[in-house]
A and B are shown apart, each in its own frame.
Chain A
Amino acid sequence: GQQVMQIPQYQHVQEGEDFTTYCNSSTTLSNIQWYKQRPGGHPVFLIQLVKSGEVKKQKRLTFQFGEAKKNSSLHITATQTTDVGTYFCAGTSQSGGSNYKLTFGKGTLLTVNP
């Protein structure tokens, strides 16, 4: 079955440093989504990338989708304490017929030292 690998598992940074998490799929994806889960909270949708090579920005966050649609990255510039949480990538693939399945990576836990 489809696998989505995400690295690193943990990342601790000083406030103001940059942070990147990487996601790789064993199969070509229809699209990739990114979610953020604050400690004790639930996953919250951040963004979706659909096109090969797509790059999207949300303030200090930059999301990329690889040319082969098998990898993606999330980069945060100048981290803040509010960025703390687990960032998940989730790849969409067909699961049969017209149905699709979202497979989550294991997430990267980001902690920020003020």
Chain B
Amino acid sequence: DTAVSQTPKYLVTQMGNDKSIKCEQNLGHDTMYWYKQDSKKFLKIMFSYNNKELIINETVPNRFSPKSPDKAHLNLHINSLELGDSAVYFCASSRRWTSGSSEQYFGPGTRLTVT
């Protein structure tokens, strides 16, 4: 059983296109995240949702729009893709942080390549 799944695993597209990445978790967690990992392996949080409510929105271009239809799903839509968007995007989930301590479970990642 896959705890956190993402689709697609690989995504190759041209500049200017719009694409979506989907994420689902079957752990019953309340909180979900999107991270971007660049070529230097730096993991940077983009968004965090708790029970479908946006709680963290880092400095991300508004071409990136997350959407959480329910607490088990968090999708990421990217408009007008740019070369600099090429990276691995990880979805993650955790229990709700009421005391600031909850491990995160990561999905397998989506490698996005913009040409």
- Tell me whether A30 and B108 are in contact in the complex, defined as CB-CB below 8 angstroms, given that A43-B43, A107-B41 are known contacts: no
In the bound complex, CA of A104 to CA of B101 (Å): 14
Contact with A along B80-102 (1 / 0, CB 8 A): 00000000001010000111110
Q: Which residue of B lies closest to A97 (CB)?
A: B55
Prevailing SS type, chain B contact patch: loop
Q: Which of A37, A43, A48, A99 contacts B101 (CB 8 A)?
A: A48
A43 contacts B106, C-beta separation under 8 Å: yes
Tell me if B44 and A104 are in contact (CB < 8 A). Answer: yes
- For A104, the chain B residues whose CB sits under 8 A away are 42-45
B64 at the interface (CB under 8 A from A): no
Count contacts between A and B, CB distance < 8 Å.
Answer: 61
Query: How far apart sit A37 and B44, CA to CA, in the bound complex (Å)?
Result: 15
Inter-subunit contact B41/A106 (CB<8 Å):
yes
**Chain B residues with CB below 8 A from A59, complex form:** none
Contact pick for A45, options B98, B100, B103, CB 8 Å: B103
Residues of A within 8 A of B41 (CB): 37, 86, 106-107, 109
Given A45-B104, A103-B45, 17 additional A-B pairs, CB 8 A: A30-B99, A30-B101, A41-B108, A43-B90, A43-B104, A45-B103, A86-B41, A92-B100, A92-B101, A95-B55, A95-B56, A99-B55, A99-B97, A102-B45, A104-B42, A106-B40, A107-B41
Residues on B lying within 8 angstroms of A by beta carbon are 40-45, 48, 50, 55-56, 90, 92, 97-101, 103-109
Which residues in A have some Cβ–Cβ distance to B below 8 Å?
30-31, 33, 37, 41-45, 48, 50, 86, 88, 92-95, 98-104, 106-107, 109
